[in-house]
Amino acid sequence: MEHLLEYTFAELKNILLEKNVAVSRTYPIFGWIYRRSEFSFENMTDLPKTLRPMLADWFSIIDIETVETQTAPSGESVKFLFRTHDGHYIESVLLQGGEIDDETETAGPERLTVCVSSQVGCSLSCNFCATGRMGLTRNLTAGEIISQVLLIDRYAKEKYKKDPASRAITNIVFMGMGEPFLNDENVLKVVNILNFSGGFHIGARHITISTAGIYNKIRELADTGLQVRLAISLNSANQDKRRVLMPITQRQPIEDVLDAVRYYQTRLDRRVTFEYVLIGGINSEENDVLSMKRELAGIKFHLNLIRYNPVEEIPLVPPSDEEYRQFKGFLRKHGIPFVERYGKGREIAAACGQLGLSKLSERLSKVKG
């Protein structure tokens, strides 16, 4: 059985043609799945009755299973635990308000952002990140990534009483488990499928790809011309300090990453986001800000300032209130534009850096319970 979500609109048309099905059927199939969140061919009522069981024999649609949902006390975030067909687990998050995606830097109550995973685990071992402690199991397929988006979109339609005939999700961020640029073929295919006007139809500028800094892939993204937003996990502009926080820096030096960002901006003329996880006693001094000011010269950017979100078994702490206030003062003093990002979902281990299948055995036993 083939996985339908793996195919672009053009690819599905060709497959249907090979099966002697009118290619015009591709439009309603995409509409039912990507706009109406309908995952049963039998319920696609404007398709011929004789065709529906044939489609069900040929194709599966959703490639993962929802195991658990956890809602934060504030109600502003929901964490999803999914199981893949081969028994692995991943987590994704729905955020009300979510990430900014426009020049006004606002995030109103109608903004619904889905934070998706691109890999089962991660190979980069960033020492402040729960996913990095897992190691890498495998890449997710395009269908598995899209399945996260569609299942969460259907959930959001019901939760927020949205129009069932159109998508509820307004933004997608590749900030979940895994390094998107180490699964770039599938990630970029997902972007193109979800951007298609006859389906989910989400604008490229409403999609953010966040990377720890794979500089050759940043250059390749620039060459595609895709208008997605680019975010870089920075955390320190000092090569030695960043190498301690993010071991990938040994193979991807910060100067090469920043050169790739400059190349990206010459091709696309788009401002980038640098994500800065502020860790108590680690990267919160004025010298850290001076390093940023020096190394980021000539780059159009804004800084997402994120207080470190604690992870069990990682011996790091968030900055104190005074340390946090002082660091913001350093940023203002040296003219570095920043936006404060708050740890939505911290109570359910759903905030930045916390996705890592926390207490998985305990959670699974309750579900099976």
Q: Is 91 one of the catalytic residues?
A: yes
Give the C-alpha distances (Å, rounded to integers) separating 332 from 104, 136, 303: 19, 39, 12
**How many residues are listed for the chain in this entry?**
369
172-202 in b/e burial notation, b at 16+ Cβ within 10 A? Answer: bbbbbbbbbbbbbebbbbbbebbbeeebbeb
Instruction: Extract the tokens encoding 160.
Output: 């927020």
**Taking CA 319 as the corner, what is the angle to CA 317 and CA 323, rounded to the nearest 5 degrees?**
155
Strand partners, 2: 59
- Taking Cα atoms as reference points, which of 215, 230, 237 lies closest to residue 289? 237
Q: Which of 115, 122, 129, 352 is catalytic?
A: 352
Q: How would you classify the pairing of strands 171-174 and 229-233?
A: unpaired
- Taking Cα atoms as reference points, which of 56, 139, 47 lies closest to residue 90? 139
Separation of alpha carbons 227 and 242, rounded Å: 28
Q: Which of 6, 91, 99, 295 is catalytic?
A: 91
Separation of alpha carbons 357 and 68, rounded Å: 12
Separation of alpha carbons 313 and 311, rounded Å: 6
Please list the active-site residues: 91, 352
